[in-house]
Chains A and B, each alone.
Chain A
């Protein structure tokens, strides 16, 4: 099945810093989403981005499907950005969605 790898596994930032999170996947996908899991465990949709580039405030994401990776950019990080960021993909023609292991982000004040 599809393998999803996220890097880095852990990241500590000073408030105001920028960062890039990466998601590599091993096969063709028709569905790619980025989520933020907050300290209460809720999965918050950030981007639905099987291809292309999207921006939402301080966050943006780019997926290059032909090269099988996606990037999540966080600019001017805030303490409320802390949590775990997951990439999740569904392979072409299937229903099963595979999550990566996540990047655990801690933003220091």
Chain B
């Protein structure tokens, strides 16, 4: 069964460093998403991506964040200068059709980011 994969599973970084989180969405999906979950809290939407551009982003997704689909399979989230409060689990998701129009999103296992 196709699944979303994410690497690394856990990343530890120093405050101020850049990190890149990687995702391989399900191969025939068209819409890609990043979410984060601070420990013990709910899952928060960061950004959606379609047709090589951002389709929607939340207020959390400021200039420190960027997304890219560098080739036909990978989808990345970059945090330029990490802060302590960026420590969280980051989930990638993909869906076949537009999320709001109605299609099931499938989530990867997450990358736990720890900023020291």
Query: Which of the four size classes fits the interface of chain B?
Result: 20 to 34
Interface residues of A in 78-99 (CB under 8 A from B): 86, 88, 90-99
Among B100, B109, B112, contact of A94 (Cβ-Cβ < 8 Å) = B100
Interface residues of B in 8-64 (CB under 8 A from A): 31, 33, 35, 37, 41-45, 48, 50, 55-56, 58
Verify B99–A31 contact, CB threshold 8 A. yes
Verify A101–B42 contact, CB threshold 8 A. yes
Verify A41–B43 contact, CB threshold 8 A. no
Q: Is the interface of A mostly helix, strand, loop or mixed?
A: strand
A30: Cβ under 8 A from any B Cβ: yes
A100 to B33, CA, bound (A): 17
List of A residues within 8 angstroms of B106 by Cβ: 45
List of B residues within 8 angstroms of A95 by Cβ: 31, 33, 48, 50, 55-56, 98-100
CB distance from B1 to the nearest CB of A (A): 11
Verify B45–A33 contact, CB threshold 8 A. no
Among B41, B56, B58, B91, contact of A43 (Cβ-Cβ < 8 Å) = B91
Query: Which of the four size classes fits the interface of chain A?
Result: 20 to 34
List of A residues within 8 angstroms of B79 by Cβ: none
Using a Cβ cutoff of 8 Å, how many contacts connect chains A and B? 74
Verify B42–A92 contact, CB threshold 8 A. no
A56: Cβ under 8 A from any B Cβ: no
A42: Cβ under 8 A from any B Cβ: yes
Among A31, A50, A86, A92, contact of B43 (Cβ-Cβ < 8 Å) = A86
**Interface membership of chain A positions 11-51, coded 1 if the CB is closer than 8 angstroms to chain B and 0 otherwise:** 00000000000000000001101010000011101001010
Other A-B pairs, 5, CB within 8 Å; known A31-B100, A90-B102, A96-B100: A30-B102, A95-B98, A97-B33, A97-B105, A101-B42
Identify the B interface with A (CB < 8 A). Answer: 31, 33, 35, 37, 41-45, 48, 50, 55-56, 58, 89, 91, 98-107, 109-110, 112
Identify the A interface with B (CB < 8 A). Answer: 30-31, 33, 35, 41-43, 45, 48, 50, 86, 88, 90-102
